[in-house]
Chain A
Amino acid sequence: MERSSLGLKIPEGMIDLLPAELAQLEELEGKAISVCKNWSYQKVATPGLEYRACVEPDADKDDHLYKFFDKNGHILALRPEFTTPIARMVATRQKGGQFPLRFCYSGDVYRNDSARYREFRQVGVELIGSNNDIADAEVIALAIEIMKTLAIKNFQLNLGHNGIFSGLAEEMKFETKVREELEDGIARKDMVKLEKIISSNDLPESAKELLLSLPYLTGKEEVLDKLQNWTHIKPIRKAVESLRTIYLYLKEFGVQDYVSLDLGILRGFSYYTGAIFEGYLPGIGVPLIEGGRYDGLYADFGMNHGATGFAVNLGFILEKAADFELDMADVLVYGQSPGAVIKRCRELRKSGKKVEMALGFLADTDARNMASSRGIALLEKIEIT
């Protein structure tokens, strides 16, 4: 049937990739995955469709899912990320696995929000079954190694901790309402609101001072020294010790120069529980790497596992990457006899050449023109003998 005008369009936020674009994306993806494999991460895949109950269990929450119904009336969703589906997979299929598990993945994720791309390629890793700081350091070092392998210039990785605010709230026994307001302020990165709540509530002076200065603690080791004054509070001591150890290991990995300590990374009270990190590229308005420790997620799936990981948004890297030379055929084969042409093409392909076959007879000048317009260096004419 002839297509209506809608049938010629694609939905908002979707894109086609032409050969040069796709080749470049796959090149980036392949390089990233091969680094992961070098670090002993094995590639897994989860389905594009999951139950909403898996990827967003809170029915009250606004989500950005593409949702459908299955035949039984259950709500399905296109995966918005890989971390949760992999946790589901591990909890149901790898219960007796040899922990720690190291998995990597690459695939498209879908988010129905107003962003430019609502479908984009992610590459990422999950390191499941270790609470050790060295696990955090490993995934951070791996993220940086991937950026270096992809020749991403000027990127920067900020390392923070998601347990300080929540730990402090617990320790200070904030009222539920104050806590909720604080959480909302943090999730929205609304310093004005945070300041207002903190100064208008009856909190101990030391807690006020800490809460007000936390978002601005950013830099190198001195950040941790500044936190030292508050380390009589248990969750803070734990966070400081963790960050110090991770930062030290990053030096051993030879990547410390790329990393800033930054307690101003505010990410709300999502599933991240410990060290969190983001990778930035100047000129790209959103982080191109997001990662961190998410011990609570496996607990939600009934498993007691510490886990950490990250995802890289390849779409943004593609945008910044230099123009890509598409890999063209080595030789164009043409001639009078289709049989002889096919035979020669088979021989050449067997020997490892990339071969383009002319479809029908070409005059010599047409063959030359075709080869040059397609960037094919060699021509081979098959004469009938």
Chain B
Amino acid sequence: MPKNYLTIALPKGKLLTDSVALLTEAGLDCRSVENDSRKLLFDLPGSEARIIICRPTDIPTYVEQGAADIGFVGKDTVIEQNKDVAELVDLKFGYCRFVVAMPEESLPQKLPDGLYDLSVLNHKRAATKFPRVAQLFFNEHGMQVTPIKLHGNIELAPRVGLAEMIVDIVSTGKTLRENKLAEVAQILEATSRMIANRVSYRVKYERIQGLAEKIRVLVQ
């Protein structure tokens, strides 16, 4: 494999289209990449690169281990996975917010400053796909909340008494409303990031930094 050959890990799903468009604009020939395909590995002809399609939560792992040199992934996943990777560029797309949400009928009182009084949530349970993010937030606020790790359909948990609240990412808020949940606190905002393996970033510095610079300009 040539020294500067790049393996790029992209998330499957809705971020793939944006990522591929960005890489194409940055000069990589991504015509071979198909969304909704069972294929997981695409060679980019003439670009000395290939794209691998991964579950978003796995991308930091691929990159940390050096199986992929760079990856595009949400900041939410970067925080949750807490892997040793370099974060190079804020890609600006894939915007979402981490929030604490509760059933509409059991919202806490509001404080004079207009925020919800979260202290009543002490010793309660929060269903989430992101237990680390949840724990960091509650710790920071001096709260004792037990995260319950789930892998999907988080909104269901408070409806059936598995948890009193959820910690999840929202982009439009539609899913929350449909499940009669309301936001009680915002934890953080996140966008997608270009991340790199720390050794690849040094060994293939010019190639990766060149790509990062192009992308930085494109997403401005």
0/1 per residue, B173-215, Cβ < 8 Å to A?
Answer: 0000000000000000000010001111111010001000000
Residues in A262-312 with C-beta less than 8 Å from chain B: 262, 264-266, 278, 280-287
Neighbour of A264 across the interface among B65, B67, B202, CB < 8 A: B202
Query: In the complex, which residues of chain A have a beta carbon less than 8 angstroms from the beta carbon of B67?
Result: 285
Interface SS majority for chain A: loop
CB closest chain-A residue, reference B83: A114
Question: Which residues of the other chain, A, contact B117 by a CB distance below 8 angstroms?
Answer: none
- Residues from chain B with a CB closer than 8 A to the CB of A39 are none
Taking the closest CB of chain B, its distance from the CB of A377, in whole angstroms, is 39
- Let me know if A84 is at the binding interface, CB within 8 A: no
Most B CB contacts (10 A, CB to CB) among A188, A192, A265, A283 go to A192
Q: Would B87 and A284 count as touching, CB distance under 8 A?
A: no
| Most chain A CB within a 10 A radius of its CB, from B88, B193, B203, B205 | B203
Within 8 Å of chain A (Cβ to Cβ): is B76? no
Contact partners of B193 in chain A: CB under 8 A: 192
Report the contact-size class of chain B (Cβ under 8 Å from the partner). 20 to 34
Contact across chains for A262 and B202 when beta carbons are under 8 A apart: yes
Q: Judging by beta carbons under 8 Å apart, are A280 and B87 in contact?
A: no
Return the chain B residue nearest A154 by Cβ: B3
A262 to B199, CA, bound (A): 12
| B3 partner residues in chain A, CB cutoff 8 A | 154, 282
**Is A191 a contact partner of B199 (Cβ separation < 8 A)?**
no
Query: Whole-angstrom distance from the CB of B25 to the nearest CB of chain A?
Result: 20
Q: Which residues of A contact B89 (CB under 8 A)?
A: 191-192
Closest to B65 in A: A285
Q: Provided the pairs A216-B209, A285-B64, A285-B197 are in contact, do residues A193 and B87 lie with their beta carbons within 8 angstroms?
A: yes
**For chain A residues 137-191, which have a beta carbon within 8 Å of chain B?**
154, 156, 158, 188-191
Q: Which residue of A lies closest to B61 (CB)?
A: A114
On chain A, the residues within 8 Å of B90 by CB distance are: 192
Which residues of chain A are near B65, meaning CB under 8 Å? 285
A190 contacts across to B, CB distance below 8 A: 86-87
**Contact, CB under 8 Å: A191 / B200:** no
| A218 at the B interface (CB under 8 A) | yes
A-side interface residues, number (CB < 8 Å): 24
A287 CA to B66 CA, complexed, in Å: 11
B85 is an interface residue with CB less than 8 A from chain A: yes
Q: Do B209 and A280 touch (CB < 8 A)?
A: no
Residues of A within 8 A of B205 (CB): 218, 262, 264
CB distance from B205 to the nearest CB of A (A): 6
Residues of B within 8 A of A283 (CB): 66
The answer for the CA separation of A39 and B208 in the assembled complex, in Å, is: 38
CB closest residue in chain B, given A158: B202
Mask of B19-62 contacts with A, CB within 8 angstroms, 1/0:
00000000000000000000000000000000000000000000
Interface centre among B3, B84, B86, B202 (most CB of A within 10 A): B202
Chain B residues, Cβ within 8 Å of A265 = 202
Bound complex: CA A281 to CA B86 (Å): 18
17 contacts between A and B (CB under 8 A): A188-B87, A189-B86, A189-B87, A190-B87, A191-B89, A192-B89, A192-B193, A218-B205, A264-B205, A266-B86, A284-B66, A284-B199, A285-B198, A285-B199, A285-B200, A286-B66, A286-B198
Interface residues of B (CB under 8 A from A): 3, 64-67, 84-90, 193, 197-203, 205, 209
Binding site for B on A (CB under 8 A): 154, 156, 158, 188-193, 216, 218, 262, 264-266, 278, 280-287
- In addition to A189-B198, A192-B193, 19 A-B residue pairs with Cβ atoms within 8 Å of each other are A154-B3, A189-B85, A189-B86, A189-B87, A190-B87, A191-B86, A191-B88, A192-B89, A216-B209, A262-B202, A262-B205, A266-B86, A280-B199, A282-B199, A284-B66, A284-B199, A285-B66, A285-B197, A285-B198
